[in-house]
Amino acid sequence: MIGIYIHIPFCARKCPYCDFFSVPYQKNTVQAYVNAVIRNLKAYANQISDPVDTIYFGGGTPSLLSAEQIHAMLTTCREYFNLSHPEITLEINPARNQETYLHDLYLAGINRLSIGIQSFSDSQLQLLGRTHTVKENCKIIHAAVNAGFENISCDLILALPEQTEMLLSETLEILIHQPITHVSAYLLQIEEHTPFAENPAILEHLPDDDTVADRYLQTVQKLESAGIYQYEISSFAKPGYESRHNLKYWTCADYLGIGTGAHSCLQNRRFYIANHIDLFCQEAMQKEITISEQACDPSEKIMLALRTVKGIPPEMLSRKAQIKADLLTERQYMRLTAEGNLALTPKGFMISNAIIAMLID
């Protein structure tokens, strides 16, 4: 089984905290870009015989594309690949009057939405420079349900300035009462060269490490109490709704990335595509830049798998690392799963960099 990731690098406007590559929406460029994606899908189809079980439209803002454009790309996938009960996700930002659009997306074949909700607090949405409101957040979720979507994921951003326990609790309370199946909760990270990195009003009010950890644990607890269980550092789902596509990243499964900046891992080879839209649109096939020919070695596997609640079989670790893991388990940073695997606890996830570094050196 293989996953296909399609990157859509267009945004209506740039969010002040985001450092991902994107360009402003421009009609002609977008169509040329979609054509190039279709061209690449056809080209890769010759090399790939494995069945495809996930397709993911990420961005940027894929919801800037028309339903027809999405439909065209998915049609190509159907015609050229062997699709096997695929999970087909599209990232979408809340906006006005999306009812028809959602309906058309559903008809085009999208069966999972990942909505950039970010928060259910208007003041926090404003701080993030988002143009939607809490009202619009609720509206899009219901519109999606009405359009036929059953599998709906919401993005949340934690560790924001002024995000008190109370404020976050309000957001979580609203969230768990929505008809959703999945939550991705990220911690705000200040990236260089973004407006946030130069904004003293933001920088001076960032929560300290202890507060961040508290908010994270608060989120984990609240979601679990509502039956939305953590299955990865920043992913939570109702049972059976874990993102099959994202899990491929943590299990060293194969995925093909198409589009600018897209990453791939195919048969232990990692590569990515340059952030150059014109080049991508013009070339017959996207140019792969190799990162590694020996991906998914044991230490990479440990690093990735420890992001999930499934964890790793203890024997993947060296003798020395196993002793360290025992100590970490004693201190409740790790735990033994029902299958006998070693996995991080929520408290452990929060310091996973340190733990992973300790276990694979």
Partner 1 sequence: MNSEYIRNFCIIAHIDHGKSTLADRILEKTRTVAERDMEQQILDNMDLERERGITIKARAVRLNYQANDGQTYIFNLIDTPGHVDFNYEVSRSLAACEGAILIIDASQGIEAQTLANTYLAIEHDLEVVPVVNKIDLPSAQPEKVCQEVEDIIGIPAMDAPRISAKLGTNVEEVLEKIVSDIPAPKADPNAPLKALIFDSYYDSYKGVIIYVRVKDGTVRTGDMIHLMATGADFTVTETGYMTTDQLVNTGELSAGEVGYIAASIKSIGDTQVGDTVTLKEYPCEEALPGYRKVNPMVFSGIYPADGAKYGDLRDALEKLQLNDAALSFEPETSIALGFGFRCGFLGLLHMEIIQERLEREYHLDLVTTAPSVIYKVTLTDGTVQYIDNPTNYPDPSVLALAEEPIVKADILVPSEYVGNVMDLCQDRRGIFKDMQYLDDTRVTLKYELPLNEIVYDFFDALKSRTKGYASFDYEFMGYAPSKLVKLDILLNGEMVDALSFIIHTDKAYGRARKIAEKLKENIPRQLFEVPIQAAVGGKIIARETVKAMRKDVLAKCYGGDITRKKKLLEKQKEGKKRMRQLGTVEVPQEAFMSVLKLDE
DSSP string for 228-281: -EEEETTEEESTT-S-HHHHHHHTT-EEEEESTT-EEEETTEEEEE-S-HHHHH
Which one among 203, 282, 331, 336 touches partner 1, defined by CB under 8 A?
331
Of 49-108, which residues contact partner 1 (CB under 8 A)?
A: 58
Nearest to 105 by CA among 137, 151, 136, 139: 151
> Does the protein bind partner 1 through residue 142 (CB under 8 A)?
no
Which one among 29, 133, 199, 352 touches partner 1, defined by CB under 8 A?
352
Q: Rounded to 10 degrees, what is the CA torsion of 127, 133, 135, 139? A: -130
> Does the protein bind partner 1 through residue 260 (CB under 8 A)?
no
Give the whole-angstrom CA distance, residue 154 versus residue 93. Answer: 10
Give the whole-angstrom CA distance, residue 183 versus residue 299. Answer: 28
Is the CB of 261 or the CB of 311 nearer to partner 1? 261
Q: Rounded to 10 degrees, what is the CA torsion of 246, 54, 264, 92? A: -70
Is the CB of 50 or the CB of 104 nearer to partner 1? 50
Question: Considering the complex, what minimum distance in angstroms separates the CB of residue 142 from partner 1?
Answer: 28
> Does the protein bind partner 1 through residue 244 (CB under 8 A)?
no
> Does the protein bind partner 1 through residue 265 (CB under 8 A)?
yes
Which one among 2, 4, 7, 219 touches partner 1, defined by CB under 8 A?
7
Q: Is 19 exposed, middle or buried (0-12, 13-18, 19+ CB in 10 A)?
A: middle
Total residues interacting with partner 1, rule: CB under 8 A? 46
Give the whole-angstrom CA distance, residue 23 versus residue 280. Answer: 14
Question: Considering the complex, what minimum distance in angstroms separates the CB of residue 212 from partner 1?
Answer: 5
For residue 274 the two structure tokens come to 């340059």
Is the CB of 124 or the CB of 234 nearer to partner 1? 234
> Does the protein bind partner 1 through residue 266 (CB under 8 A)?
no
Of 31-60, which residues contact partner 1 (CB under 8 A)?
A: 58
> Does the protein bind partner 1 through residue 309 (CB under 8 A)?
no
The span of 31-39, 95-103, 204-212, 218-226 binding partner 1 (CB under 8 A) equals 204-212
The span of 45-53, 73-81, 92-100, 302-310 binding partner 1 (CB under 8 A) equals 302-310
> Does the protein bind partner 1 through residue 248 (CB under 8 A)?
yes
The span of 100-108, 111-119, 166-174, 249-257 binding partner 1 (CB under 8 A) equals 249-257
Determine the length of the chain. Answer: 361
Which one among 25, 101, 186, 229 touches partner 1, defined by CB under 8 A?
186
- Characterise 355 by phi-psi region: left (phi > 0), alpha (psi -120 to 50), beta (else): alpha
Which is it for strands 182-187 and 269-273: parallel, antiparallel or unpaired? unpaired
The span of 101-109, 163-171, 180-188, 223-231 binding partner 1 (CB under 8 A) equals 180-188
Q: 216: Cβ–Cβ under 8 A, 6 or more apart, which residues?
A: 158, 159, 185, 187, 346, 349, 350
Which one among 192, 210, 315, 339 touches partner 1, defined by CB under 8 A?
210
Is the CB of 61 or the CB of 98 nearer to partner 1? 61
Going from the C-alpha of 277 to that of each of 5, 258, 264, 356, the distances in angstroms are 17, 12, 18, 36
Beta strands in 169-223 (DSSP E): 182-187
Which residues of this protein are in contact with partner 1, per CB under 8 A? 5, 7, 20, 58, 185-187, 189, 209-210, 212-213, 216, 233-234, 248-249, 255, 257, 261-265, 270, 272, 291, 300, 303-304, 307, 328, 331, 333, 349-358, 360-361
